[in-house]
């Protein structure tokens, strides 16, 4: 896509949203598969379905809705993205990250991302959340390829603090206070849509990953490019154990995501409270 055209489309979407809302959200939360529960925490909600927003893509994945929920969490203005766009659905990287650019333009400063992921660290048990410390991009693509939009961010963005250290510290402190079990680790993003073979899980472990999924990395790259601070969580939904690999279904992933999602929602609402 022509970048000037893309910039115009993002601006139209952002302008529409700014007319619909009374206060610009400082924090955005991307709700991953089975992780929509946090939307119950928001008060004074204003829901905007994706089809109402000019140029916004429309989501197709199971367990994913398609709406932005604007509201207050602990008196802080937030926007919850209920339904994300996956590369495996056939969206381009620019489409996958379209909402993140819109968030940047409406003034979001902190992006909280969540996802469902396979656990590759042998110490991980399913049904628990992991704070993402860093990522590996194995998607074979990048949302920043093409002409750089200089008003959005630098040509060669720094990724040394891609998942903000202070926000991670805050999340860990909150989990400790609440007695919530949580892991920390590296998230690797693959294209999907198939789950991994045993040999692939083995490789991903060897290259330093603790969890694997099919999302998040494009959004986090764009958020960093756009100067946002990022906090990320993976719900560990299955064990990618190469020596004892069991058949895996999307239903099982959703079920375990919901379990981890309860703990994640409690942590995220308190993180927002203390921002």
Q: Which residues contact ligand HPA (rule: CB under 6 A)?
A: 116-118, 195-196, 212-214, 237-238, 240, 253
User: C-beta of 137: minimal distance to ligand HPA in Å?
Assistant: 14
- Residue number, 117 or 264, with CB nearest to ligand HPA: 117
> In the numeric block, which tokens belong to residue 215?
């999302």
Closest CB to ligand HPA: residue number: 118
Helix (H) or strand (E) holding 65: none
- Closest listed residue to residue 65, CA positions, set 88, 90, 36: 36
Residue 86 CB, nearest approach to ligand HPA (Å): 10
Parallel/antiparallel/unpaired status of strands 211-213 and 110-119: antiparallel
Buried-exposed string 191-223: b where 16+ CB fall within 10 A, e elsewhere: ebeebbeeebbbbbbeeebbbbbbbbbbbbbbb
Least distance from C-beta 213 to ligand HPA, angstroms? Answer: 4
Tell which residue, 156, 213, 220, 157, has the closest CA to residue 28: 220
Comparing CB distances to ligand HPA, the nearer of 13 and 126 is 126
In angstroms, give the least distance from the CB of 51 to ligand HPA.
27
Nearer to ligand HPA, 63 or 240 (CB): 240
Distance CA 68, CA 46 (A): 8
CB of 201 to ligand HPA, least distance (A): 8
Q: Of the two residues 28 and 253, which places its CB atom closer to ligand HPA in the complex?
A: 253
- Comparison of 129 and 213: residue with beta carbon closer to ligand HPA: 213
Closer to ligand HPA by CB, 56 or 195: give it: 195
Least separation in angstroms between residue 227's CB and ligand HPA is 29
Query: Coil, strand, or helix at residue 48?
Result: strand
Two tokens, residue 47: 């829901």
Q: Give the DSSP letter of residue 210.
A: S
């Amino acid at each position: 896509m022509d970048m000037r055209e893309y910039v115009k489309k993002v601006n139209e979407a952002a302008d529409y949203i700014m007319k619909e809302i009374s206060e610009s959200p400082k924090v955005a939360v991307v709700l991953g598969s089975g992780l929509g529960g946090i939307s119950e925490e928001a008060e004074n909600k204003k829901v905007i379905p994706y089809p109402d927003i000019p140029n916004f893509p429309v989501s197709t994945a199971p367990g994913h809705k398609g709406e932005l929920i604007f509201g207050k969490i602990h008196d802080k203005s937030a926007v919850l993205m209920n339904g994300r766009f996956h590369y495996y659905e056939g969206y381009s990287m620019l489409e996958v990250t379209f909402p993140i650019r819109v968030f940047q333009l409406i003034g979001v400063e902190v992006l909280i991302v969540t996802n469902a992921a396979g656990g590759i660290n042998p110490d991980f048990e399913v049904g628990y959340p992991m704070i993402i410390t860093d990522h590996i991009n194995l998607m074979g693509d990048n949302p920043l390829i093409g002409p750089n939009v200089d008003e959005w961010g630098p040509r060669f963005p720094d990724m040394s603090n891609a998942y903000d250290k202070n926000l991670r510290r805050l999340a860990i402190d909150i989990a400790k206070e609440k007695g919530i079990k949580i892991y920390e680790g590296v998230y690797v993003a693959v294209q999907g849509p198939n789950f991994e073979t045993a040999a692939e899980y083995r490789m991903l472990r060897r290259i330093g990953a603790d969890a694997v999924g099919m999302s998040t990395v494009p959004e986090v790259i764009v958020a960093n490019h756009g100067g946002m601070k990022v906090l990320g969580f993976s719900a560990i939904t299955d064990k990618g154990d190469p020596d004892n690999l069991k058949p895996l279904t999307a239903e099982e992933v959703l079920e375990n995501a919901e379990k981890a999602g309860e703990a994640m929602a409690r942590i995220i609402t308190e993180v927002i409270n203390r921002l």
